[in-house]
């Protein structure tokens, strides 16, 4: 009875996944942790009459707390981890020359598409888990001993702009001994529904900040939600020691925006690196065919399945048009501009995590995908 006309195929999913949230928050034996993806905070407000791009993160945190979630964290924190890992992987591949171009791995819509359509290119996809999955794996590890001591179980709920994130969380290689990195994925639309179900008046919520220690993200982590954002974050990281800011500015004016194919060239340690950014699977398909035909050459390629990137994901409020996409992206870039930490490796909490639990647990951040030619 709760499902809405906008979701003709997802009626049961919607009901079940919100039901899972309710069950988790009412179960005293569960430590319920939520993560919120960057794109959600610039779109959820539309469900409650606000303009696209309006940032409502404080109210979203507050709403999740009101629903009974114990700790609320920022997926952009995990995006900072992804930037560090993926940059490292990219530099290694640039040195060996193997499996180039490196394709980004944070969009499960794209990964699935590549597995089905271009199984011979699966090794080119980054082994980095997506931020959603990295976060789940790290949280489960972080609370492992405490859970055992307290007889609790940690449940990771993620709030995503995306329906493909549900399938990603359910993938077999993203669980260990039956424990999933992420237990429940709800979309922005589903969160709006939960808020209504709970009788919360969104407008009247007092803003709250993220919990610590995983609630602090850099601007780089936040812009993951818009097309070009991952590239910008990785390049910012690679050029961190290079004082040539004007080169960066030129570069970023190329990677931002809604063109189907964006390209940029820059130098890392005397080596020319060529990158491409595509969004929408049609553009990705076309580009890969050109690469296979030898017509184009790149070292790094960012692919997002949704035109515009995650800000325009299938779980976001509808209707949506180009203008709204631009406004949502603007919201993320504004957060980047006003954030205290500009690049991922300057996030002190991420860096201390790398020196602490990730030191001997690096595999928590990686996954080795297999081609499934199932078309
Ligand atoms: Fe999901 Fe679309 Fe973002 Fe890919 S681009 S992760 S399919 S919302």
> What is the rounded CA–CA span in Å between residue 22 and residue 176?
25
Whether the complex's predicted ipTM is more than 0.85 is answered with: yes
Atom of ligand 1 nearest to the CA of 314: 8
SS3 for 310? helix
pLDDT at residue 250 in the model? 53
Instruction: Say if 374 falls within a structural domain.
Output: no
pLDDT digits (tens, 9 = 90+) for 196-246: 999 999 999 999 999 999 999 998 899 888 888 888 888 888 777 665 554
Instruction: Say if 362 falls within a structural domain.
Output: no
For residue 253, name the pLDDT band (cuts at 50, 70, 90): low
Instruction: Say if 323 falls within a structural domain.
Output: yes
- Whole-number Å distance, alpha carbon 109 to ligand 1 midpoint, is 6
* Nearest CA, atom 4, ligand 1: 107
pLDDT at residue 370 in the model? 53
Q: Are 251 and 263 in contact (CB under 8 A)?
A: no
> What is the rounded CA–CA span in Å between residue 37 and residue 135?
11
pLDDT digits (tens, 9 = 90+) for 271-300: 888 999 999 999 999 999 999 999 999 999
Instruction: Say if 350 falls within a structural domain.
Output: no
pLDDT digits (tens, 9 = 90+) for 300-326: 999 999 999 999 999 999 989 999 999
Average pLDDT over residues 354-362: 84
Instruction: Say if 150 falls within a structural domain.
Output: yes
**Residue 72 token pair:** 């609320």
CATH number at residue 43: 3.40.50.1780
Contacts of residue 230, Cβ cutoff 8 Å, sequence gap at least 6: 82, 83, 86, 104, 106, 224, 302
Nearest to 126 by CA among 167, 84, 183, 75: 84
Flag whether pLDDT at 2 surpasses 50. no
How many structural domains compose the chain? 1
Q: Are 104 and 276 in contact (CB under 8 A)?
A: no
pLDDT at residue 342 in the model? 84
- Whole-number Å distance, alpha carbon 113 to ligand 1 midpoint, is 12
Structural domain of 126: 11-343
Flag whether pLDDT at 144 surpasses 50. yes
- Best mutation site among 162, 188, 311, 332 for ligand 1 pocket (most ligand atoms within 8 Å of CB): 162
Instruction: Say if 353 falls within a structural domain.
Output: no
One DSSP character per residue, 259-284 reads: -SEEEEEEEETTEEEEEEEEESHHHH
Judge residue 150's burial from the number of C-beta atoms within 10 Å of its C-beta, 0-12 exposed, 13-18 middle, 19 or more buried. Answer: exposed
Instruction: Say if 369 falls within a structural domain.
Output: no
For residue 11, name the pLDDT band (cuts at 50, 70, 90): very low
β-pairing, 261-268 vs 175-176, is unpaired
Half-sphere exposure of residue 82: CA atoms within 13 angstroms, side-chain side: 34
Instruction: Say if 354 falls within a structural domain.
Output: no
**Which pTM was predicted?**
0.91
């Amino acid at each position: 009875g709760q499902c809405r006309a906008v979701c003709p195929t997802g009626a049961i999913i919607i009901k079940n996944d919100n039901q899972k949230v309710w069950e988790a928050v009412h179960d005293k034996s569960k430590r319920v942790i939520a993560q919120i993806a960057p794109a959600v905070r610039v779109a959820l407000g539309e469900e409650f009459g606000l303009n696209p791009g309006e940032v409502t993160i404080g109210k979203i945190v507050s709403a999740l707390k009101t629903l009974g979630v114990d700790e609320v964290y920022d997926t952009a924190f995990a995006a900072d981890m992804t930037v560090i890992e993926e940059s490292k992987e990219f530099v290694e591949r640039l040195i060996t020359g193997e499996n180039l171009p490196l394709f980004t791995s944070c969009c499960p819509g794209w990964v699935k598409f590549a597995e089905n359509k271009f199984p011979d290119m699966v090794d080119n996809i980054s082994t980095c888990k997506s931020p959603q999955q990295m976060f789940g794996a790290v949280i489960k590890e972080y609370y492992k001993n405490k859970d055992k001591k307290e007889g609790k179980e940690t449940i990771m709920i993620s709030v995503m702009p995306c329906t493909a994130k549900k399938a990603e969380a359910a993938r077999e290689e993203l669980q260990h001994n039956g424990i999933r990195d992420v237990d429940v994925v709800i979309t922005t639309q589903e969160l709006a529904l939960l808020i209504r179900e709970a009788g919360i008046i969104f407008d009247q919520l007092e803003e709250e900040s993220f919990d610590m220690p995983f609630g602090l993200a850099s601007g780089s982590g936040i812009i993951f939600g818009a097309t070009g954002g991952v590239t910008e974050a990785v390049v910012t990281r690679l050029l961190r020691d290079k004082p040539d800011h004007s080169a960066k500015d030129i570069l970023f004016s190329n990677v931002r925006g809604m063109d189907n194919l964006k390209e940029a060239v820059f130098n890392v340690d005397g080596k020319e690196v060529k990158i491409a950014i595509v969004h929408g699977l049609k553009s990705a398909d076309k580009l890969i065919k050109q690469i296979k035909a030898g017509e184009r050459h790149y070292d790094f390629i960012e692919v997002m399945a949704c035109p515009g990137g995650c800000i325009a994901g299938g779980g976001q409020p509808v209707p949506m048009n180009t203008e709204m996409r631009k406004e949502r992206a603007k919201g993320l870039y504004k957060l980047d501009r006003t954030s205290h930490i500009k690049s991922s490796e300057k996030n002190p909490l991420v860096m201390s995590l790398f020196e602490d639990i990730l030191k001997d647990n690096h595999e928590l951040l990686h996954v080795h995908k297999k081609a499934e030619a199932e078309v």
